[in-house]
Every structure is written in structure tokens, then in C-alpha cells.
């Protein structure tokens, strides 16, 4: 059994198990239950928890009322460390955090790759996952939100959102599957400029408007566009659950990063 060990524990979030569990529980419990619907796709930020944890807590609060059944969470985020093309699935059988071990659903990954490797740029490789923080930062939130789940982690490089929407199409055909799109919004603008730029992201998601999203500076824009494309095809609704910048949380307002929580759901 191969385990992907945490890479940003003690940097992006507390390394101590008790402190980490309390930190995340506080973020989730203090978040409003914005909408009483089951999420099909969630979007959540991936910065250090002191900056984006409040907004991430709003995303994961939406999982607290799910039925106590086994769920598969498809985690999708952009590579920040390694340049490549396409979508990388891990060889690892599990991912570890200070809160414990999470199983990777290699059976579903194997079946997917057997069908789609000839037509999509999808492959297995552990290097894009090894030091990547965008998915790791979601894991402790999942561990504090769900009792029984496994994950399908996907890190993407240069890629086409239509291809990612096809990946969503496949995995969301399974019962009790939810996609989590990991993304931050604009980076290092002043506070007021960031809010204007990030409004393109928020409006694009709320209105399911791909053209509006073309003006969005999210690092995970491929994931957001794929979510909107899938939502339009399946007549999903979307909402902005929360929006903040680092200037609202633990940073100054001279150079900020934007964070949003989005949800796509059936009415």
C-alpha cells in the first residue's frame, strides 16, 4: 500500500492533530448552511487556513447534512509545482493528513483510464501530487465533514475545460459522488481591484456564463469552467456561498488573494 504523505502540514495548516481538528470544526460550525440542497459540485479555496479557512468552511458546511452513506469525492485542482499537459491521477493507494489516512478509489480510476486514455490526456503519475497543496488542503475539511468516504484526486496542468467536463460526466454518473473544484481567485491586486476582477468569477458562476468567466483570474479556472459546462448540460443551479479576500481575514489590503465558495446543485 503506497501512501501520499502530507507536504504542507505545519505550513498551510496546523500539524498537530488536535489543533487541526478544532480549527476546521470551528470553521465549519461557524459557517452558515447557505442552501438546503445536496451539492453536485463544490468549489473551495486552497490557501493557508488563516487566509481562506473561513471560506472553505462554508463549502464543507454543505456536506454536513448528507446521508450517512459512503461517498466518493472527486478532487480537482491546478498544478502549482510541475508543468505538464493533461490530467494526472495518482498511483498512491491513500493520502495521509495529521487526521488520518484517506483511501484513493483506485478501482474507479483504473476503469476510467481503461476507457478514456485513448481519447483524453489522462494518465497516472505521482509527481504532480507529491508536493501539491491544492488538493491536500481540502482533505482535513473532508475528514471533519464526512464519516465514510474515499477520494479520486486529479491534478491538472495545461488542459481543456471540455475534457475536464467529460471527466466530471463519467464520475458523477456514480451514486453518492461529489466533485470538489479547488481554486483561489485573483492574486496580488490591491483590495478594491481584486473585488472588481473577482466579480467576473462570481458572476460567471452565478449566471453559468462561460464568457464572463473568461475575465476571471482564478488559478483553477479550468475547473470552474468545467463545472459551469457540466451544470449547463445538466440544468443545475449555482450559487456563490461566500466570497472574501486575504485582506478580509489575515492579510493587509495592499496585495490580496481572492477566495470563493461555490455550489452547483439540482433544484
Strands 87-89 and 122-124: parallel
Q: What's the domain count of the chain?
A: 1
CA angle 23–25–27, rounded 5-degree value: 70
pLDDT at residue 20 in the model? 98
Domain region containing 120: 3-265
pLDDT at residue 32 in the model? 83
pLDDT at residue 35 in the model? 83
How far, in Å, CA of 98 to CA of 17, rounded? 5
How far, in Å, CA of 260 to CA of 87, rounded? 23
**Bridge partners of 181?**
43, 76
pLDDT at residue 36 in the model? 86
Low-confidence ranges of the chain (pLDDT < 70): 34
- Supply the CATH number for residue 37's domain: 3.40.830.10
Q: What is the pLDDT of residues 49-75, one digit of tens each?
A: 999 999 999 999 999 889 899 999 999
Amino acid at each position: 500500500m503506497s501512501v501520499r504523505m502530507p507536504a504542507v502540514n505545519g505550513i498551510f495548516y496546523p500539524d498537530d492533530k488536535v489543533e487541526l481538528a478544532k480549527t476546521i470544526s470551528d470553521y465549519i460550525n461557524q459557517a452558515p448552511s447557505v442552501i438546503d440542497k445536496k451539492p453536485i459540485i463544490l468549489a473551495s479555496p486552497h490557501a493557508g487556513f488563516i487566509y481562506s479557512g473561513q471560506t472553505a468552511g462554508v463549502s464543507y458546511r454543505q456536506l454536513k447534512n448528507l446521508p450517512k452513506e459512503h461517498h466518493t469525492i472527486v478532487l480537482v485542482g491546478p498544478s502549482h509545482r510541475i508543468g505538464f499537459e493533461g490530467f494526472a491521477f495518482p498511483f498512491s493507494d491513500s493520502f495521509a493528513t495529521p487526521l488520518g489516512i484517506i483511501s484513493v478509489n483506485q478501482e474507479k480510476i483504473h476503469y476510467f483510464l481503461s476507457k478514456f486514455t485513448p481519447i483524453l490526456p489522462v494518465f497516472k503519475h505521482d509527481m504532480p501530487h507529491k508536493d501539491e497543496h491544492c488538493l491536500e488542503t481540502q482533505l482535513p475539511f473532508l475528514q471533519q465533514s464526512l464519516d465514510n468516504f474515499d477520494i479520486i484526486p486529479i491534478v491538472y496542468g495545461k488542459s481543456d475545460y471540455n475534457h475536464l467536463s467529460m471527466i466530471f460526466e463519467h464520475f458523477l454518473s456514480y451514486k453518492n459522488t461529489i466533485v470538489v473544484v479547488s481554486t483561489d481567485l485573483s492574486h496580488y491586486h490591491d483590495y478594491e481591484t481584486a473585488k472588481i476582477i473577482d466579480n467576473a468569477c462570481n458572476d460567471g458562476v452565478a449566471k453559468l456564463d462561460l464568457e464572463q468567466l473568461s475575465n476571471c483570474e482564478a488559478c483553477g479556472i479550468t475547473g470552474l469552467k468545467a463545472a459551469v459546462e457540466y451544470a449547463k448540460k445538466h440544468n443545475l443551479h449555482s450559487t456563490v456561498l461566500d466570497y472574501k479576500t486575504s485582506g478580509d481575514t489575515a492579510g493587509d489590503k495592499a496585495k490580496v488573494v481572492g477566495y470563493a465558495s461555490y455550489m452547483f446543485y439540482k433544484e
